[in-house]
């Protein structure tokens, strides 16, 4: 019986050692790499979540600033995004202030998604007050119209009027917003 016990103890010890070796190999080669990969992925996920939360907070702050800027400057944006007047509309406006007015398009250019159309205006006004009223009216129009130098005013003694020569520049935006701006409803929209 003692041989049986010794043989049994030796077999059990060998199987135990084999089991321990296989368990250690299994743990070090299979389970530990998966645990390390899981921890690395968990760390990366936490880092990505922090970055997302910060980016989202920054995006919300910027979108609030954009909306505030649009609301503060709505009148300017309305003018910039308005359709430019055609030559007939512009002439009708000018005829309110000038007698025998002529309007000649000099140049048209596109710069940074803003089109600029430059006109030369030559006309006659009765007095300086009428010219000042015209200049004030230009700032209230639903378009962006700039009066630029040289402004030349000469007295026409024969007709007792003032001959005015100046340049008008009409600006219009052709900006197309990025898809994210449209998706997040941050794009400027004209109020009707």
pLDDT digits (tens, 9 = 90+) for 94-113: 788 787 887 787 878 787 77
pLDDT tens for each residue of 150-162: 667 777 777 777 7
User: Could you give the CA distance from residue 80 to residue 89 in angstroms, rounded to a whole number?
Assistant: 17
pLDDT on residue 47: 96
21 — pLDDT class (breaks 50, 70, 90): very high
* pLDDT greater than 70 at residue 20: yes
Note the pLDDT of residue 190.
58
User: In this model, does residue 191 exceed pLDDT 60?
Assistant: no
Candidates 3.40.710.10, 3.30.2000.30, 3.20.20.140, 3.20.20.100; correct CATH number of 85-173?
Answer: 3.30.2000.30
Instruction: Give the pLDDT of residue 84.
Output: 61
Residue 129 near residue 104, CB atoms below 8 Å: no
The DSSP-derived string for 93-145 is HHHTT-EEEEEEEEEEEEETTEEEEEEEEEEEESSHHHHHHHHHHHHHSSSEE
Q: What is the pLDDT of residues 34-51, one digit of tens each?
A: 999 999 999 999 999 999
CB-facing half-sphere around the CA of 162: CA atoms within 13 A: 17
| Residues 120-145, mean pLDDT to the nearest whole number | 77
Binning pLDDT at 50, 70 and 90, where does residue 132 land?
confident
Largest CA distance in the chain: 147
Domain spans, the chain: 1-72, 85-173
Give the whole-angstrom CA distance, residue 14 versus residue 158. Answer: 128
C-alpha–C-alpha distance, residues 127 and 133, integer Å: 10
Count Cβ atoms within 10 A of the Cβ of residue 80 and give its class: 0-12 exposed, 13-18 middle, 19 or more buried. Answer: middle
Cβ atoms of 119 and 101 within 8 Å: the answer is no
pLDDT of residue 181: 62
Q: Can you tell me the distance from the alpha carbon of 120 to that of 168, in angstroms, rounded to the nearest whole number?
A: 6
């Amino acid at each position: 019986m003692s041989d049986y016990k010794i043989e049994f103890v030796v077999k059990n010890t060998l199987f135990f050692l084999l089991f321990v070796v296989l368990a250690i190999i299994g743990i070090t080669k299979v389970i530990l790499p998966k645990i390390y990969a899981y921890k690395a992925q968990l760390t990366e996920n936490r880092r990505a979540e922090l970055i997302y939360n910060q980016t989202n907070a920054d995006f919300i702050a910027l979108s609030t600033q954009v909306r505030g800027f649009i609301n503060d400057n709505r009148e300017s944006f309305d003018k910039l995004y308005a359709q430019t007047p055609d030559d007939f509309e512009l002439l009708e406006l000018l005829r309110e202030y000038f007698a025998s007015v002529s309007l000649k398009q000099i140049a048209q250019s596109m710069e940074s998604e803003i089109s600029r159309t430059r006109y030369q205006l030559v006309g006659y006004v009765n007095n300086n007050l009428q010219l000042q009223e015209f200049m004030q009216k230009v700032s209230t129009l639903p378009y962006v119209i700039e009066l630029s130098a040289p402004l030349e005013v000469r007295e026409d003694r024969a007709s007792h009027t003032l001959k005015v020569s100046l340049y008008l520049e009409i600006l219009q935006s052709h900006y197309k917003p990025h898809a994210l701006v449209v998706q997040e409803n941050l794009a400027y929209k004209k109020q009707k």
